[in-house]
Chains A and B, each alone.
Chain A
Amino acid sequence: MSSRRTTGGRISEDEINELISKLQSLLPESRRRNMGRASAGKLLKETCSYIKSLKREVEDLSERLAALMSTMETDSPQAEIIRSLLR
């Protein structure tokens, strides 16, 4: 994911196939069913659903965090959170 292609030409067919495989291994449903190579259309459809559900999760978690933060005192838990995340 950190490899950067030259910005000149388009990406080759092989690289596209590689990206499609990587995408398939990332998607939760495709991974569970352990499918052979799925059709590109289905894969993209699942990718769109997955991204939408991840965005919804971010929004839901934001609401939850806003509610939690509105009930906590200002200073105490933050050092603990930072410590737990850096472990």
Chain B
Amino acid sequence: MHREALAGNPNPSRHLQALHFLGALARINKLRARKSPPSRRATALGGRRITRAAYAAMAVAAGPRRAWSRAILLGLRRNSIAKPFLIKKRILKPHRELRDVGSRAEELRRLLPGARRMEFGSLLDETLNYIHHLTAQVGIMQKIADSLCK
């Protein structure tokens, strides 16, 4: 469908991410326009809706092959965005370096959607991809915010 637009584009997933997010913003905007003048509460709700749209756009761009994007696509409400940061007991391991890595890997597993029981190598792989899409999303949103300011 977007083949002509994507031809020669070195980063087609970023393109898709931007387009999906823009579409969601347009829908949110239409919803907002129908209601009465915005209260502070409405703006806060709008902010959360936009956050959800941001993660949805990331997940769509990443596709279903990633555990984190699958977790988001399958249940926006169930993933770890809205939940408060869980505090777990640290499991002490004998070797200092192992303990270091172990507890950090656990923290990473909590930060990444769908990574609860992931083994270490896959965790790193997913993390790289997640960061890639997160930074893309920040860039997209900054550009939109800047152009709305003009």
Contacts and interface: CB of A to CB of B under 8 A. Distances in A.
Interface of B is mostly: helix
Interface residues of A, number: 48
Interface of A is mostly: helix
Interface residues of B, number: 59
A20 B104 CA distance: 14
Contacts of A81: 22, 144, 147-148
A19 B18 CA distance: 27
Interface of A: 1, 4-5, 10-12, 15-16, 19-20, 22-23, 26, 39-41, 44-45, 47-48, 50-52, 54-55, 57-59, 61-70, 72, 74, 77-78, 80-82, 84-86
Interface of B: 5, 15, 18, 22, 25-26, 28-30, 32-33, 38, 42-44, 46-51, 54-55, 65, 81, 97, 100-101, 104-105, 107-108, 111-112, 119-122, 124-125, 127-132, 134-135, 137-138, 140-145, 147-149
